Amino acid sequence: MFISGIFSRWSFKVCGGQNSDRICVSPRGNIAAFTHEAGRKTNGDGFFFRNFPGTVLAVGDGLSGIPAGEIANRISLQTLQRHTRLNTPLPSVFRRANARILKTAARMGKPAKGMSTTLVAARVVKDRAGIASCGDSRIFLIEENEKVSLLTRDQNDAFDRYQAEYLFEPVVFPMEDPAEYYEMSRKRRNNPLFKCLGMKDPVIFTLEKDVVLRKGSRLLLCTDGLYRYLPYPSFIEILARGESPANTVDKLVKKALANMASSGDNIAVVLYEYCP
Question: Is 271 domain-assigned?
Answer: no
Question: Please, are residues 188 and 162 in contact by the beta-carbon 8 Å criterion?
Answer: no
Question: Is 267 domain-assigned?
Answer: no
pLDDT of residue 167: 64
Number of domains in the chain: 1
Question: Is 274 domain-assigned?
Answer: no
Question: Is 212 domain-assigned?
Answer: yes
The CATH number of the domain where 124 resides is what? 3.60.40.10
pLDDT tens, per residue, the chain with 276 residues: 455 555 546 677 887 778 887 899 998 899 999 998 887 778 999 999 998 778 999 999 998 777 799 999 999 999 999 998 888 999 999 999 999 999 999 999 988 888 999 999 999 999 999 999 999 999 999 999 889 999 999 999 999 999 988 767 889 999 999 999 999 999 887 788 999 999 999 999 999 999 999 999 999 999 999 999 999 999 999 999 999 999 999 999 999 999 987 667 899 999 999 998
Question: Please, are residues 59 and 268 in contact by the beta-carbon 8 Å criterion?
Answer: yes
Question: Is 11 domain-assigned?
Answer: yes
pLDDT of residue 16: 72
Question: Is 30 domain-assigned?
Answer: yes
The DSSP bridge pattern shows strands 128-134 and 211-212 to be: antiparallel
pLDDT of residue 110: 86
Q: Which residues span the domain enclosing 204?
A: 4-260
Sign of CA dihedral 149, 224, 83, 56: positive
Dist CA 1 CA 63 (whole Å): 26
pLDDT of residue 4: 55
pLDDT of residue 239: 97
Question: Is 80 domain-assigned?
Answer: yes
pLDDT of residue 146: 85
Question: Is 172 domain-assigned?
Answer: yes
